[in-house]
Structure 1
Amino acid sequence: MCIYGRTHSSGKVSPDQLLFLSKPFSRMSHNSVNQTSSPAPKFYDAIILGASGFTGKYVVREALKFLNAPNSPLKSLALAGRSPGRLAEALKWAVGADSPRNIPLLTADTTDPDSLSRLAAQTKVILNCVGPFRLYGQAVVSACVDAGCDYIDISGEPEFMERMEALYHEKAVEKGSLVISACGFDSVPAEMGLLFHSRQWAGPSAPNRVEAYLSLESDKKIVGNFGTYESAVLGVANADKLVEFRRSRPKRARPAIPGPAPPKGSLIEHHQQLGLWALKLPSADSVVVRRTLATLTENPHGLPGVNETADDLKKREAFWSSVKPAHFGVKLGSKSLLGLFPYIMLGIFIGLLCRIALGRRLLLKYPSFFSLGGFRKEGPSEEEVASATFKMWFVGHGFSDASLASKGNKKPDTEVVTRVAGPEIGYLATPIILIQCALVVLSKRGSLPKGGVFTPGIVFGPTDLQERLQENGISFDFISKNALSA
């Protein structure tokens, strides 16, 4: 597939032409699948699970731009959730005034394993938008792995992602199920942005550390996704469990990075070149990047595709040979120090309250109060969403010649700055990213790994995902390369 545009020639669905399906299979079709020894035919290219949620309805709207578009691999699509009525409302919202088309609405519940098995048995890939994923995600992953269908989601929850790898990786490889979390704003801009940045260090030069400065901008008040807020509260509440889990797991390989480990630095800094005050974040992006770099260290040429061609192999090896690993961290940027105050207060509130049950209940019941208006249960208005944008600046410090790093504790002498930019992160950028990841899976499946639980970077790095994102409103730009004073 070579189309990257965000428009399509045909229309979408009107309310009077919706197709309601209370069960994804009829009894006859379900029985016939069980009786055959050959793989069951897939009814749909993709199913969006949680399509009626705050983020899910934006994912539906984005998906419809590519359904049956010229050269698009997305020829059939279904929406799934607990309530056909809510799915119909979400679809009506997503369709707007466009001309009609039938989209099946399938009933499924993350607490009903049979309903999830039926979904996974009839699609090539499930796009999961039901969070928090620590509460609702594992059953979906399990159903997809059992059925051998692919799975992608928008999770930004490190514990969920790492547990899914521990529990399902080997079985996913066996079944041919590709499981990829963090296919939204968490963590594709960070992963693809770092890979893009890394390739700017040409020849003998090499990065030592790269810091990403995330700047959220809007001419209206920025309102965050409540699901992100809820995941953060539950993540901090269970931080001890994650530490314990990581200690129980085998140590992963670490990449060889030229030069010394970077200093920890201060919690808050002022970056004069970017004009930003920055707050260090305990970001899922950093965790996902480290997992990608660990997998790359274990597989220096990347992961072979299940049916890759000689050209695919050559492209994959050439891509990964151009990638140079670096220490990576993320900071939240603001044009004023005062702009960081709500985030600092939210961090204090979560740190103090989330370890006790009453505190968690208060945090989740009154998100607007504890976030000083930064999050609210009803989500942002469409006007607030449309007015927001993001910029993620990647500032890399390294060596003009990697051999210099081995000469004592020589400080980095080169700085490279790149940038990823796009629309509002939760409801616009995330759907764009998720749908483009799904289109890559559908169109490039033979050049992707047979199966397994992986991060987006290691799977999508050598593909055309960056170009697709670029053509759909998320830009990747080289900004500058400068020598640093001694």
Structure 2
Amino acid sequence: MPTHYFSTNQPQKWHALQLQRHLQISPLNLAMDDDGSNPSPPYDLVILGASGFTGKYVVREALKFLNSPSSPLKSFAVAGRNHSKLLDTLKWAAKPNSPPPSIAILTADTADPVSLRMLCSQTRLVLNCVGPFRLHGGPVVAACVQAGCDYLDICGEPEFMERMEYSYHDQAVETGSLVVSACGFDSVPAELGWMFNSKQWVYPAVPNRIEAYLSLESDKNIVGNFGTYESAVLGVAHMDKLIELRRSRPSRSKPKIPGPYPHKGPLIDYQKEFDLWVIKLPSADTAVVSRTLAMLTKHPNGFPGCYESDGQIEKRKKFWSMVNPAHFGLKMGSECLIGVFRFIVLGLFVGLLGRSSVGRWLLLNFPSFFSLGWFNKKGPSEDEVASASFKMWFVGRGYSDLRTLTNVGDKEVDAEIITRIMGPDAGYLATPIILLQCALIVLGQRDSLPKGGVLTPGIVFGPMDLQERLQQNGISFDVISRRIGSTR
């Protein structure tokens, strides 16, 4: 079993209890608090994979809220395989100050179930930053579900997310473990973005489709996380497993959306509203939004919280009554046509080579060549991260008056609402902001969240105050234009 490093201020009573559990010894009186209840875990959250490219930025973001006024985050630990790298991460994240001495360093390995069980037994919440998740995420989810602690990650891999739902949802409900993937740039902006746009449609106006257009911008070269690139390559390699998984399950419920199914449209398109050339690419965002919509068809008022007050119940029901279902899709954009062709070339390389072992070896060993410089194993510099930003437009198109429609299929859309989300670098700044705000909601408002289960971020955090929290931390939501009753 790997060595575990603990801070000196951890409750000895708690560690005695955990030792008894792992040795399968019946709990003694020392395992109880003075009031007869089990002691709380020593950490509010543990950041697993803290020394990774994104993990270190998550640590830096967590330090902003540790013991700050009104913050529920009073203690946390960092975890991973290498103690010295984790120590370096803490020093980097805390500079120019020294790391708080209360932060513990825990050694755990996703290939070691015992270390993961021990890790999960010491915390209320695990933030998992270890990817690719198809390779490393399953054991962490399993350990969290077994221990009954909550779990958030920054995954953008549909096959992993849907497999976790298939494998662990019922058990997570039973143990009270809330498991939510895609709590980063994948896929919270997409989920909150389509909700924000759909809520602008006031009856009798209704949307038919909401299309998202994403632009990644920087004054310097845009360099992506190698883990994101690796996940995409492995996703293509295992696409048949995702198809097999979906075929093995009952079809998801589909919401009733006014109007016909949108046409696919051209492969490449120009959006003059925001001066972007765009192309539709496979996206985890679309899969996650689709899962949320399917859940809402069975639970139109969302999922009840563990111990909601009457006011919280009313707030949740009101929120979901304002969210209009709509077809959703996402397209990547570039200010120049050459940028779109770079997307196409990257997609062709990954699509053609990702299905063979030799092709994957080439893709993963020469990422800069095959991604045309967008990805490398070193990752971006701090200056490159600071210079990057994202813009995400949501174009909702639908009908100005549902009451006047007799045959919607023959009716052209005559209304449009455009909204936008903007923020800092998607992978290294926006993702930690989003993940930490989700974590603070879990820690501070757990009674208002579902008891447990493998759910989407939209279902869990939609009716909470996540949008307001993101706006207070540098991610903006704006209504750009409304055209109701103007045929397009």
Shorter-chain TM band: over 0.9
| Match of residue 250 from structure 1 | 250
Equivalent position of 1:381 in the other structure: 381
Q: TM-score scaled by structure 2? A: 0.93
Aligned to 1:30: 18
Query: What pairs with 1:418-433 in structure 2 (closer than 5 Å)?
Result: 418-433=419-434
Mapped partners of 2:187, 2:65: distance in 1: 23
- Unmatched runs of 5 consecutive residues or more in structure 1: 1-17
Are the structure 2 counterparts of residues 166 and 406 from structure 1 closer, same or farther at C-alpha, using a change threshold of 3 Å? farther
Compared with structure 1, are the counterparts of its residues 27 and 213 closer, same or farther at alpha carbon in structure 2 (3 Å cutoff)? closer
- The alpha-carbon deviation at position 154 of structure 1 amounts to 0.2
Task: Determine the structure 2 residue equivalent to 1:394.
Answer: 394
Mapped contact 2:391–2:422 kept (Cα < 8 A): yes
* Contact 1:20–1:106, Cα closer than 8 Å, also in 2: no
Preserved contact between residue 400 and residue 415 of structure 2 (Cα < 8 Å): yes
- Percent identity of paired positions between Structure 1 and Structure 2: 63
Instruction: State whether residues 47 and 78 of structure 1, in contact with CA within 8 Å, keep that contact through their aligned partners in structure 2.
Output: yes
Match of 1:270 in 2: 270
Please name the residue that 1:190 is paired with. 190
C-alpha distance in 1, partners of 2:218/2:405?
41
Report the CA distance shift for 1:437/1:129 in structure 2 as closer, same or farther (over 3 A).
same
Change (3 A) 1:308 1:244: same
Displacement of 1:79 in angstroms is: 0.3
1:203 CA displacement: 2.2
Per-residue deviation, residues 376-400 of structure 1 (Å, max 9, x unmatched): 1110000000000000000010011
> Where do residues 289-304 of structure 1 align in structure 2 (5 Å cutoff)?
289-304=289-304
Indicate how the Cα distance of structure 1 residues 250 and 40 shifts in structure 2: closer, same or farther if over 3 A, else same.
Answer: farther
Residue in structure 1 matched with residue 281 of structure 2 by the alignment: 281
2:471 match: secondary structure = helix
Distance 1:316-1:104 versus aligned 2 partners, 3 A rule: same
Q: Deviations over 1:405-424 (max 9, x none)?
A: 54241011001000011000
Q: Confirm or deny: 8 A CA contact 1:259 1:406 kept in the other structure.
A: no
Q: Cα distance 1:156–1:149, how it changes in 2: closer, same or farther (>3 A)? A: same
User: Which amino acid in structure 2 is aligned with residue 31 of structure 1?
Assistant: L
The answer to whether the 8 Å contact 1:188/1:457 transfers is yes
User: Is 2:33 the counterpart of 1:45?
Assistant: no
Shift of 1:267: 1.2
Give the equivalent residue in structure 2 for 1:181: 181
Shift of 1:342: 1.8
Structure 2 residue 469 is the aligned partner of structure 1 residue 481: no
Q: How far did residue 20 of structure 1 move?
A: 9.1
Amino acid at match of 1:484: S
Q: What is the identity, as a one-letter code, of the residue corresponding to 1:62?
A: E
Q: 235-244 or 24-33: which moved more? A: 24-33
Q: CA deviation at 1:241?
A: 1.3
1:290 aligned counterpart, secondary structure = helix
Query: How far apart, CA to CA, are the structure 1 residues paired with 2:160 and 2:99?
Result: 38
- Aligned CA-pair RMSD: 1.8
Aligned residue number for residue 438 of structure 1: 439
Number of the residue aligned with 1:90: 89
Partners of 1:272 and 1:404 in 2: CA distance: 31
Change (3 A) 1:405 1:229: farther
Cα distance change of structure 1 residues 80 and 242 upon mapping to structure 2, 3 Å threshold:
same
TM-score, L = length of structure 1: 0.94
Q: Which residue of 2 aligns with 1:407?
A: 407
Instruction: Provide the C-alpha distance between the structure 2 equivalents of 1:259 and 1:100, rounded to a whole number of angstroms.
Output: 56
Aligned pair in 2 of structure 1 residues 39, 358: CA closer, same or farther (>3 Å)? farther
Distance in 2, Cα, partners of 1:129 & 1:44: 17
